[in-house]
Amino acid sequence: MAPDSHWPGDGDTVIRWIRAGLQPTDAELVRGLDAVRISAEASGTTLELLSIDASGVELGLLPVNDAASESSPAPGVPEIVHRRPGVIRTVRLIADPVRIEGIAVSIDAQLRDIPVEWLVYAEPSIIDQPETIHGIDLADDGAGMRGAFTVSVRSEDLSPLIESLVRPLLTGSGIHLSRLKTKVTQDGADGIRLDAGAGIRWRLLGASAKGTAHVQVSPDGIVTLRDLKVGSRNPLVMLALRAVRQSVQEQIGKSFDLNEDLTSAGGPRLTDLRVTAGDDLTVSARLS
């Protein structure tokens, strides 16, 4: 196929390119992306508006064959044969809400004045996806880009998410998690407190355990675990939890810079980051 140097062309061309990128791959299998609504308006090298609306969409994660993924090397990036400087005036992502694995998540995000380079490759980057002969690169490290986002989820829906993260850690110590209930509350102006109660089984012994975590979130994107406690009234279960407790206590006081990962990946920088907890857990920030 002959490379098309007129990329982005029109809004329909941009939409087809995005649709091609939303197709499941061996590394990222997500069910339901075809239901996401996309609109675009383009003029020359300026994408005036890109709107992505996932409201009412049901997304599910499909199982990944780890062995197959390891045996299949990642495809290389084709040679770039044409570049055109341009700008994306407005990108809007709305989900009011989207359901991810049954959990309702509300998202409202905007980015404005994004400097880009419109790329044309010598051949499509994905086999059988001719639209992927096109690509986009962030130009000038995103200078002048700005925006904001708000993401919220019902606090009562956090239990399944936390359970999926905690279960592998406990299983590695021989502890099996049977149930988990969590409560998230505000802890000062810049922090949240997470209280959790769980039913666990260690060998033939069933018992309950509880944990409390205090997390501080600064406006400039620094997340610090201030305190973390796990325990049980059952002395035998406490013995089993010792290995877990030692590993988590090593994390107390450590800080994680969200902007370090975002900016190293070419993404925008977070400012005015806020986390509030009540009936909903809401995260909001400005982007620059």
Q: What would the pLDDT profile of 209-267 be if each residue is shown by its tens digit?
A: 788 889 999 999 999 988 888 777 777 667 766 766 677 678 788 898 999 988 887 77
Residue 286 pLDDT more than 90?
Answer: yes
**What whole-number distance in Å separates Cα of residue 86 and Cα of residue 113?**
10
- Mean pLDDT along residues 118-134: 91
Residue 186 pLDDT more than 60?
Answer: yes
Give the helix/strand (H/E) hosting 14: helix 11-21
For residue range 69-125, list pLDDT tens digits in order.
444 555 678 999 999 999 999 999 999 999 988 889 999 999 999 999 999 999 998
**Token pair 């305190």 in the structure block, residue:** 227
**What whole-number distance in Å separates Cα of residue 59 and Cα of residue 102?**
8
Q: What b/e string do you get for 221-242 counting C-beta neighbours within 10 Å, with b at 16 or more?
A: bbebbeebebebebeebeebbe
Positive or negative, the CA dihedral 235, 241, 243, 248 is negative
- Chain-centre distance of CA 261, in angstroms? 12
- Quote the pLDDT of residue 284: 97
Global model pTM greater than 0.85: no
Task: Give me the helix-helix angle, 235-249 and 158-171, nearest 10°.
Answer: 100
The per-type count for the chain, helices as H runs and strands as E runs, is 5, 15
Give the chain's mean pLDDT: 85
Q: Which one is predicted more confidently, 58 or 177?
A: 58
For residue range 22-70, list pLDDT tens digits in order.
876 555 567 888 899 999 999 999 999 999 999 999 988 765 554 444 4
Give one word for 141, left, alpha or beta, with left for phi > 0 and alpha for psi -120 to 50. Answer: left
- Quote the pLDDT of residue 60: 82
Q: Residue 22: exposed, middle, or buried by beta-carbon count in 10 A (0-12, 13-18, 19+)? A: middle
- Mean pLDDT along residues 128-134: 91
User: pLDDT band for position 1 (50/70/90)?
Assistant: very low
- Quote the pLDDT of residue 127: 83
- Quote the pLDDT of residue 220: 94
